[in-house]
Amino acid sequence: MGKLDGKVAVVVGGGRNIGRAISLLFAKEGAKIAIFDMDEGRAAGVAEEVEAQGGECTYVIGPVQDVNSVKNMVSTVVGRLGKIDILTNCAAISDRLPMLELPDEEYLRIVDVTMHGSYYTCKYVAEQMVKQGTGGAIVNFSSGSAFRGSTSRVAYDMAKGAIVTLTMDLAVQLGPHGIRANAIAPGITGSQVGGTIAMEDRSTRNVIGGRPGLPEEQASVALFLASDDAAHIHGQTINVDAGMNVM
């Protein structure tokens, strides 16, 4: 018996890295998967992988920062799979410049995708969950970079800080509907956000054990938070970073 038998899980940004690992693991645990991603090739590739391991996976393509695409995703998933029980929010993009060099349009684009995108999916999936009346679980993705200053990023860090706050508000406002909201703050995991720098080439300074994390090591915590094992956990952001935050 799987931990998510009978559940439908939306994996936003399920086309790569952590979202891909979540799609594969949640499907193994019995959930039907709906990937929402802007990249059709990536989403279709992961859907094939899920099906190759015996699972069920559909996908919807669209930009997460576009509220109408998000509303369309919710109605399409409900049309195809009947309901939504779990939402995981993995889509994000990052800046790689200090504030004084960051063009304002780039700042707005990053905050739009990384902060507004998660807000819209939480809002419209929660609306659907409340309508269903059977509760649900939301797992957002913050980042270790929400909690420290950086020499080369600002928009992403701000947006990831906002995800921590959003998750607390969701927990309080949706808790009465039986919907739990929590977040994960990963450290260095698999490939770079929005990039393809391979795991072995990423810095492992300040990481206990001296290696970057695997996407599967984020997925297993997402599974815990999405399942009834975490029934008593609300509004938390859990560091999954090999101790980076304590060093």
Ligand X SMILES: NC(=O)c1ccc[n+]([C@@H]2O[C@H](COP(=O)([O-])OP(=O)(O)OC[C@H]3O[C@@H](n4cnc5c(N)ncnc54)[C@H](O)[C@@H]3O)[C@@H](O)[C@H]2O)c1
Catalytic residue positions, numbered: 156
The answer to whether residue 74 forms part of the interface with ligand X (CB under 6 A) is no
Task: Using CB under 6 A, pick the residue from 33, 34, 74, 92 that binds ligand X.
Answer: 92
Residue 88: closest CA among 43, 145, 26 = 26
The answer to whether residue 31 forms part of the interface with ligand X (CB under 6 A) is no
Pair of tokens at residue 69:
């695409």
One-letter amino acid at 22 equals I
Q: How far is the CB of 134 from ligand X (least distance, A)?
A: 27
By beta-carbon proximity to ligand X, the closer residue of 49 and 178 is 49
Stretch that binds ligand X, among 38-46, 49-57, 96-104, 169-177 (CB under 6 A): 38-46
One-letter amino acid at 225 equals L
DSSP letter for 189, please: B
Q: Which 182-201 positions form the footprint of ligand X (CB under 6 A)?
A: 186, 188-191, 193-194
d(CA 130, CA 35): 21
d(CA 85, CA 59): 16
| CA dihedral angle for residue 151, residue 21, residue 239, residue 10, rounded to 10 degrees | 100
The answer to whether residue 17 forms part of the interface with ligand X (CB under 6 A) is yes
For 84, phi and psi rounded to 5 degrees?
A: -135, 125
Stretch that binds ligand X, among 17-25, 131-139, 167-175, 203-211 (CB under 6 A): 17-25
Residues interacting with ligand X, by CB under 6 A?
Answer: 13, 15-19, 37-39, 42, 63-65, 90-93, 113, 117, 141, 143-144, 186, 188-191, 193-194
